């Protein structure tokens, strides 16, 4: 039997992750300097671990309600209630922000519908949009990765259903200004298009300028996605949340019943402890790492200083990120080409979620390679 002929067109249209291809290239490296991983290098705090263990030992191992436990949804709603218009938000606990994205797209998008996606973008966006038969429409944000309302509005057509916003952003670390975010949300309001704000990195902002879209738009105009993975090091625990228009959250909840069923029960119990846990020390440490990597790179690379998340997105010497990444890997440094996150291949992503020693070591190699390329070496 030719199993390849059985693969759906939907699945065949999705390319294998470019990140996986990098790992394949690096398979034979011994102890590489890994600047590619998009997850915190700190572990889950002990109090959160203990809450999960206690929940398991207490028998909290069965399905919860599809929408999540009442206690966790109430705690999340209380956090949102400080924002005007969000006093009684509709909240769904999801299996990570990626689960929330999938449910939102399934609930809202039909074949041929269009989604505005600022470029560069989180790797899942375009593939998940295409999986449900819709079309990503990319809005270029180079060279400064600024969210420009005029560019967004110019891309809107009669088929546009959603505008995606990601701030702080992966892969650029860009934090949208209040003015830019307000302008984009005003475009969405005026054109009758829903906005979806992915705020998984909301705690990782280093210059005091992060503004949540939920402070500028009400729950009838916005789907807000957040999560626990990055802030608390809980990437493998798979839990996030969605809040927004009640009718849409209800539809997402219905679809979760037939897909993810519910977020893991013991993780929901631990989530209550997570919401009480102070992570400011870890965030401050990442601010220092941001400064370290930016200062190390800025003389040899064309690079924007990231305001948040834990990524920096320099331009590749010579113009080809794929070629530069291959050179870096040959020199024992793992980075990700920009083509994974963009319709361009001009930049590359560095994750500074590692030790300061590894960052300094990796930056030294990358700067040496850049200087060699510029001198014709």
Distances (CA, A) of 126 to 23, 160, 281: 21, 14, 34
- CB distance 113 to 134 below 8 Å: yes
Q: 66: how many CB neighbours lie within 10 A of its CB?
A: 18
Burial category of 165 from C-beta neighbours within 10 Å (exposed 0-12, middle 13-18, buried 19 and up): buried
CA distance 45 to 135: 40
- At 351-370, the pLDDT tens digits run 999 999 999 999 999 999 99
The partner residues of 92 in beta bridges, in order of sequence, read 242
pLDDT at 24: 67
Structure-block tokens of residue 259: 């897909």
Contact 230, 238 (CB under 8 A): no
Composition of the chain by helix, strand, coil, percent to 5 = 40, 15, 45
Query: What pLDDT score was predicted for residue 345?
Result: 97
- DSSP label at 211? -
For position 183, what pLDDT does the model report?
98
- Which among 127, 68, 96 has a CA at the least distance from the CA of 257? 68
Of 85, 70, 127, the closest CA to residue 216 belongs to: 85
59 — alpha (psi -120 to 50), left (phi > 0) or beta?
Answer: left
Q: What is the pLDDT of residue 94?
A: 98
pLDDT value at position 23?
65
Q: Which two tokens stand for residue 295?
A: 């200062």
Buried b (16+ CB within 10 A) or exposed e, 184-212: bbebbeeeebbbbbbbbbbbbbbeeebbb
User: What CA–CA distances, in Å, run from 31 to 118, 129, 163, 269?
Assistant: 35, 36, 41, 37
- Residue 374 has a pLDDT of 84
Beta strands in the chain (DSSP E): 33-34, 90-94, 114-119, 135-140, 160-166, 194-198, 222-227, 240-244, 311-312, 333-334, 336-337, 348-351
**Nearest CA to 165 among 239, 246, 222?**
222
Delineate the domains of the chain, giving CATH numbers in brackets.
3-44+279-374 (3.90.1150.10), 47-274 (3.40.640.10)
Residues of the chain with pLDDT under 70: 16-27, 377
Q: How far apart are CA 280 and CA 277, in angstroms?
A: 9
pTM of the model: 0.94
How is 149-198 classified by DSSP, letter by letter?
HHHHHHH--TTEEEEEEESS-TTT-----HHHHHHHHHHHHHHT-EEEEE
274: which 2 tokens?
A: 């997570």
């Amino acid at each position: 039997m030719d199993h390849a002929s059985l693969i759906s067109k939907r699945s065949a249209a999705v390319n294998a992750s470019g990140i996986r291809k990098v790992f394949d290239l690096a398979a034979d490296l011994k102890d590489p300097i890994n600047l590619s991983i998009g997850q915190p290098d700190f572990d889950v705090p002990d109090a959160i671990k203990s809450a999960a263990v206690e929940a398991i030992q207490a028998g909290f191992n069965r399905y919860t309600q599809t929408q999540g436990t009442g206690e966790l949804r109430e705690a999340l709603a209380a956090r949102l209630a400080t924002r005007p218009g969000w006093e009684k938000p509709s909240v769904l606990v999801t299996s990570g922000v990626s689960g929330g994205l999938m449910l939102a797209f399934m609930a809202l998008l039909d074949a041929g519908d269009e989604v505005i996606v600022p470029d560069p973008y989180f790797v899942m966006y375009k593939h998940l949009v295409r999986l449900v038969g819709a079309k990503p429409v990319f809005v270029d944000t180079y060279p400064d990765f600024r969210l420009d309302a005029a560019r967004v509005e110019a891309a809107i057509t009669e088929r546009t259903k959603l505008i995606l916003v990601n701030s702080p952003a992966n892969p650029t670390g860009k934090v949208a200004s209040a003015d830019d975010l307000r302008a984009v949300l005003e475009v969405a309001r005026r054109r009758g298009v829903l906005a979806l704000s992915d705020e998984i990195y909301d705690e990782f902002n280093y210059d005091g300028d992060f503004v949540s879209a939920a402070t500028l738009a009400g729950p009838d105009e916005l789907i807000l996605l957040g999560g626990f993975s990055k802030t608390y090091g809980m990437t493998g625990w798979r839990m996030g949340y969605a809040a927004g228009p009640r009718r849409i959250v209800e539809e997402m909840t219905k679809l979760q019943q037939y897909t993810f069923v519910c977020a893991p029960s013991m993780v929901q119990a631990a989530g209550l402890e997570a919401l009480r846990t102070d992570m400011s020390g870890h965030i401050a440490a990442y601010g220092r790492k941001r400064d370290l990597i930016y200062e190390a790179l800025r003389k040899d690379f064309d690079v924007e200083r990231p305001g948040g998340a834990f990524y920096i997105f320099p331009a590749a010497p010579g113009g080809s990120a794929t070629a530069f990444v291959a050179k870096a890997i040959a020199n024992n440094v793992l980075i990700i080409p920009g083509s994974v996150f963009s319709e361009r291949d001009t930049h590359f992503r560095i994750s500074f979620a590692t030790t300061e020693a590894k960052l300094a070591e990796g930056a030294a190699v990358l700067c040496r390679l850049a200087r060699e390329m510029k001198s014709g070496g």
